[in-house]
Amino acid sequence: MSLFRNIVFAAVIAGLLSGLLLTVMQSFSTVPLILQAETYENAAPEAGHSHEAAPAAGATAPAAADHHHDEEAWMPADGFERFIYTAAADVLAAIGFGLVMIAGAEALGGFGGWRGGLLFGIAGFLTVSLAPGLGLPPELPGMPAAELGPRQIWWVSTAVCTAAGLGLLAYTRSAVLAALAIVLLIAPHLVGAPLPPSHETAVPIELHARFVNAVYATNLVFWAALGTLAGVIRERFRAGEDVAVRSSTELASR
Amino acid sequence: MVTKSAATAVSVSTSKIIPLSMTALLGLFVVGFVGFSHMEVVHNAAHDSRHSFAFPCH
């Protein structure tokens, strides 16, 4: 259990720090653009935050048809409460990504310090930000999109294929496996992401362009920080692991 | 150096397989809950985070 405990510990610390860094970066870059887009999302008679608009407004605006919220569902109040929930979601997602990344790195022989951690972080950015983003660019509220389910399936499949492709490129030396890696990297984009029937939206294209840039920039810094921190912290906390290995080899030699 | 880690990758001891897969599953569950859950309340709470991570949203 010491390996599990140590990885969870490293992932929680690295995820907490990098998630908070991401939240700070987002509150200056992506979140203001999201709030601005929400004013277009429901350009209904009743001004203000779209999520509070009457259900009829969501039904009449074609661009917002995909973005209908259940009126009964709870949501955080704008301002500080919303910021806190965004921070919590960022930190949780960062811890989750950290757990998967450290487990993957350990299975492949470990980070080997901050530099290896940084490389794993960049691989994480390619896997869950850049590659899925090529087919499903970061969306602002109020933008048309295909059904949620197929998009999530395409997103997850693309991330899995990209991770496998990058792993093969980095950890194997045969030409056949390198070719397979290229196929894995390209295949999701040949299949193509589910697209909306119409791209018409009230959100200005300039706003969306700035949002896409901001998402990639913040996520690259976040992943670099998460990977580097995970590499450093993982090296420092190995309590109990050597003992466990020694005792199991002792048992084997008996 | 990379070939060395490739060699160690092959020889990941069986005692590591269970804790490593448990860790990875826990991580996937957390990411799935924050970024992919269809529950309206979770979606609303993590709304800005989901958009900023470029998770498929709405």
Q: Please report the residues numbered 17 through 56 in chain B whose beta carbons come closer than 8 angstroms to any beta carbon of chain A.
A: 19-24, 26-36, 38, 40-41, 44-56
Shortest alpha-carbon distance between residue A74 and chain B (Å): 6
Residues A150-169 have pLDDT tens digits of 999 999 999 999 999 999 99
**Domain range holding A111?**
2-145+196-253
pLDDT at A54: 42
Q: Answer yes or no: do B41 and A112 touch at CB < 8 A.
A: no
Is residue A158 a part of any domain in this protein? Answer: no
Which residue in chain B has the smallest CA separation from A245?
Answer: B15
Contact in structure between A121 and A22 (CB atoms under 8 Å): no
- At residue A249 the predicted structure's pLDDT band, cuts being 50, 70 and 90, is low
Q: Is A173 on the interface with B (CB under 8 A)?
A: yes
- At residue A104 the predicted structure's pLDDT band, cuts being 50, 70 and 90, is very high
pLDDT at A40: 87
Looking at per-residue pLDDT, the higher value among B58 and A251 belongs to: B58
Q: Is A172 on the interface with B (CB under 8 A)?
A: yes
What residues of A are in contact with residue B32 (Cβ under 8 Å)? 96
**Statement: residue A23 has pLDDT above 80:** yes
pLDDT at A58: 40
Q: Please report the residues numbered 185 through 204 in chain A whose beta carbons come closer than 8 angstroms to any beta carbon of chain B.
A: none
Per-residue burial over A143-176, b = 16 or more CB atoms within 10 Å of its CB, e = otherwise? bbbbebeebbebbbebbebbbebbbbbebbeeee
Is residue A165 a part of any domain in this protein? Answer: no
pLDDT at A238: 84
Is residue A150 a part of any domain in this protein? Answer: no
What residues of A are in contact with residue B56 (Cβ under 8 Å)? 136, 145, 148, 151-152, 155
Q: Answer yes or no: do B44 and A69 touch at CB < 8 A.
A: yes
Q: Is A16 on the interface with B (CB under 8 A)?
A: no
Contact in structure between A157 and A98 (CB atoms under 8 Å): no
Is residue A87 a part of any domain in this protein? Answer: yes
Q: Answer yes or no: do B13 and A30 touch at CB < 8 A.
A: no
Q: Is B11 on the interface with A (CB under 8 A)?
A: no
Say what the ipTM of the complex is: 0.83
Distance, in Å, from the CA atom of B42 to the CA atom of B49, rounded to the nearest integer, reads 11
Is residue A164 a part of any domain in this protein? Answer: no
Is residue A174 a part of any domain in this protein? Answer: no
Distance, in Å, from the CA atom of A53 to the CA atom of A71, rounded to the nearest integer, reads 9
**Statement: residue B47 has pLDDT above 80:** yes
Is residue A169 a part of any domain in this protein? Answer: no
Contact in structure between A75 and B47 (CB atoms under 8 Å): yes
Mean pLDDT (chain B) is: 84
pLDDT at A55: 43
pTM, full prediction: 0.84
Is residue A155 a part of any domain in this protein? Answer: no
Distance, in Å, from the CA atom of A213 to the CA atom of A216, rounded to the nearest integer, reads 5
Query: Which region among A25-29, A77-81, A238-242 has the lowest average model confidence (pLDDT)?
Result: A238-242
pLDDT at A241: 81
Number of structural domains (chain A) is: 1
